[in-house]
Structure 1
């Protein structure tokens, strides 16, 4: 049984392993920090948050100081999907942000049906646009080339 945990991570309860939801690659022991099995890119924050002031004229430029802040990006080593990103002081170990009770999770899921992908509701913004276009076409007596299709 595989349980969806985040947008890019799931736990295989049979093997007790973290897995990539995009490619199925095994990241490591589900009783440990999933980040141990990922590739890490230690980013200089100035690459992401460009200085807003001239760096030759000002020491504070509204860009994070790399001696105080780093951005760690965690990628699947198989498909390259960006799984997580975090801002940390230089030298700080990766955060242990997801620690699950695997035994309790197994009990919760023993009689449940596996969820392959998250359940998604309707895209209300897209529905509103479609409805608005249909109303516009009706009000102006034209159907924008839908030739008899009802909205």
Structure 2
């Protein structure tokens, strides 16, 4: 059983592995941080957020200082799809932003049909009220 987790990640509950939703490539054990199975590009934040003021004239340019901020981009090692991006202070380890109870997930999905693609396009049903909000003005 494969369970969709994010737009880029799913978990194979049988093998307990993170997978890329773009190519199906196995990334890393699901009980660990999925980022450990990805390629990482440590970006200079000035490449992403260009200085608004001339750095030769001004110390503060409205661009992140690379001594205080780094941008990590995570990519699937099989297909190169970008999986995640995070802003961190230099030296900070990657954030473990998803930690699931795999055993509970297995129990929750044991009798459900597998969902291969997230449903797109329909609005959730609206609850119809039987009273008039404007009646007590």
- What is the TM-score normalised by the length of structure 2? 0.88
Kindly report which structure 2 residues correspond to 1:42-81, keeping only aligned pairs within 5 A, or say none: 42-81=42-81
State how many pairs are aligned: 123
Uncovered stretches (5+) of structure 2, i.e. residues with no partner: 124-137
1:19-54, Cα deviation, whole Å (9 max, x unpaired): 000111111100000000000000000000000001
| 2:89 aligned with 1:92 | no
Higher-helix-fraction structure: 1
Task: Extract unaligned runs of 5+ from structure 1.
Answer: 124-151
Q: Distance in 2 between matches of 1:5 and 1:122?
A: 20
Q: CA–CA distance in 1 between the matches of 2:85 and 2:24? A: 20
Larger CA Rg, structure 1 vs 2: 1
Runs of 4+ in structure 1 off by over 3 angstroms are none
Paired position in structure 1 for 2:111: 111
RMSD (Å) for aligned C-alpha atoms: 1.0
Alignment partners' CA distance in 2, 1:33 and 1:106: 18
2:30 corresponds to which residue? Answer: 30
